[in-house]
Amino acid sequence: MRMVDLIQKKRDGYCFTNEEIDFIINGFTCGSIPDYQMSAFLMAVYFQGMDSLETTQLTMAMVNSGDIMDLSGIHGVKVDKHSTGGVGDKTSLIVGPLVAAVGVPVAKMSGRGLGHTGGTIDKLESIEGFHVKLSQEAFVEQVNKHKIAIVSQTGNLTPADKKIYALRDVTATVNSIPLIASSIMSKKIASGADAIVLDVKMGSGAFMKTLADARELAKIMVQIGKGLKIKTIAIITDMNQPLGYEVGNANEVKEAIEVLNGKGEAGFVKVCLTIAAYMTVAGGIYTDFIQAYAALSGVLQNGEALDKFKEFIDAQGGRAAVADNPELLPRARNHVELKSTLAGYIQNIAAEQVGIAAMLLGAGRKTINEPIDYAAGITLKKKVGDEVQPDDVLAVLHSNQTINPENCQILSKAFVIGPQRPGELPDVYDVIE
C-alpha cells in the first residue's frame, strides 16, 4: 500500500476501505507518512469529503492511535458534553454541577483554549487553588463520591488527532465536516464516555456559519455514535452573538455562578437547561426531555446546583467561597467603557470580533504557551434587540494591561446599530437524536 495511491484515490472521489484508513492514520502517527503527503490527503478530503462509514472508521483509527480511558470503576452511566466552541461559552461550568446534582456522573476532560478566550480548564484555574490534574484513581474516586470531576486532558489520548489538527490549522483544511466530526468524536470516545451530548454552535462566531452545515455536522457525529453503540445527541444552538453577557475567564466564572444562583440571561439559561436535560435523559435519571427540563429548572432555583458547584470546587482544592463572593475572583486593574455614538437598536454583535477583542486584552492565547490574564475580558451591557441612545454603554473592557483606543475600535466593529428592532434569534435551533 502506498500513500501516493491513496491520495490519488480520494482526489478522484473514491471511498477508502477500513484497512486503507488505518494505514494512513497509523503511518502518520508513527512518522512513516510525512507531513507533505498528509497535507495532500487532508486537502483531498476537504474537497471530496467522506461518507459516514469512512468518517466512523477515521474516528476509530484516531481513537486507537493512543490510550483509551478506563472509567469502568465509575458507577452509573457516564455522560460527557462537548461544545464545538464559541465566544462566552461557559456552559460546562453550569451544566456539570447541574447534572451531577441529580445523580448523573460527570467525568469530564477539557482542554485549554487557543484563540479568543481560555477553555474550561483556564476558567477553572482562575479560581484560587483549583487543581486541574488528578491521577486516574483520584479522578474515578472523586466522580463516585461527588458525581463530578473536570480535569485537563492527560496521557496519550488520540495522538493522531493532535498531529492532524496541527496540520489542518496550517493547511486551510480546518472547516471540513468529516475532519471536524472525527476529531471531536475521537476525543470523546477515547475519554471513556457511555453517552455524549454535543452542543453544536451555529452562526457568525462558530465553525458552522449556516444551519445547514451545523445540521450536517450534527447528523454525522450522531451517526458515528450510533455506529459505535454510544448514545449520542446533538443540540444546535446559536452563536450569532456571544453567549451570555461575559467574555473572558474569571468573569465567565462569575456569570456561571449567577446562573447557578437561579439568575442569568433567559436565553443562556435555556441553552444550559436544554443541554443538561438531554444529559440526564441519556443518563437514565429522567424518562423524557420535558420532565428533565422542569426538574432541572427547580434544581437551579432551589440552590442544589450551586451547592454541587461548591462541593466540586472544594473537592479539587479550589476556593469554594467564590460561589458566595465572586469578588474573590481575579479582578482587572483597568476598565474602559465602550459607548454608543448612535441611537437605534442593536442589530448584530459579531461574536468572533468580540472574541478577538477579548484575546487582545489578554483573555486568550495566540500561541499555546502564552500566559492568560484571568481577569481580562469584556462585559456586554447590550445584546441584540436592545434599544440604545448616544452615550449608552455597549460594553466594558477589562484588562491588567493598558487598554488603548485600538482595543475599543476593534470591539466597536462588532456592534451593528440600526433604526428598527430586529427579530429575535432562536437560542436552540434543532435537536438531532
Residues 6+ positions from 113 with CB-CB distance below 8 Å: 119, 122, 364, 365, 372
Of residues 123, 187, 188, 215, which has the active-site annotation? 187
Of residues 81, 116, 163, 168, which has the active-site annotation? 168
Ramachandran class of 290: left when φ > 0, alpha when ψ lies in -120 to 50, beta otherwise? alpha
Round to whole Å and give the CA distance between 263 and 248: 19
Grid cell, residue 64, equals 486507537
Of residues 92, 182, 183, 186, which has the active-site annotation? 183
User: Any alpha helices (H) in 64-176, and if so which ranges?
Assistant: 91-101, 120-125, 136-146, 159-170
Contact 196, 80 (CB under 8 A): yes
How many distinct helices (H) and strands (E) make up the chain? 16, 13
Element (H, E) at 315: helix 304-315
CA atoms within 13 A on the CB side of 214: 29
CA atoms within 13 A on the CB side of 199: 29
Q: 183 an active-site residue?
A: yes
Residues 6+ positions from 271 with CB-CB distance below 8 Å: 91, 199, 237, 238, 243, 427, 428
Round to whole Å and give the CA distance between 431 and 433: 6
Number of neighbouring beta carbons within 10 Å of residue 73:
12
Round to whole Å and give the CA distance between 274 and 154: 29
Smallest CA-to-CA distance from 54 within 104, 103, 95, 13 is with 13
Q: 161 an active-site residue?
A: yes
Of residues 10, 78, 81, 82, which has the active-site annotation? 82
Round to whole Å and give the CA distance between 188 and 134: 18
Q: 168 an active-site residue?
A: yes
Round to whole Å and give the CA distance between 86 and 203: 9
- State residue 40 phi and psi, 5-degree precision: -65, -40
Of residues 161, 199, 238, 373, which has the active-site annotation? 161
Estimate the share of the chain in helix, then strand, then coil, as percent rounded to the nearest 5: 45, 15, 35
Q: 373 an active-site residue?
A: no
Element (H, E) at 27: helix 18-30
Residues 6+ positions from 379 with CB-CB distance below 8 Å: 245, 246, 247, 251, 395, 396, 398
Active site members: 82, 161, 168, 183, 187
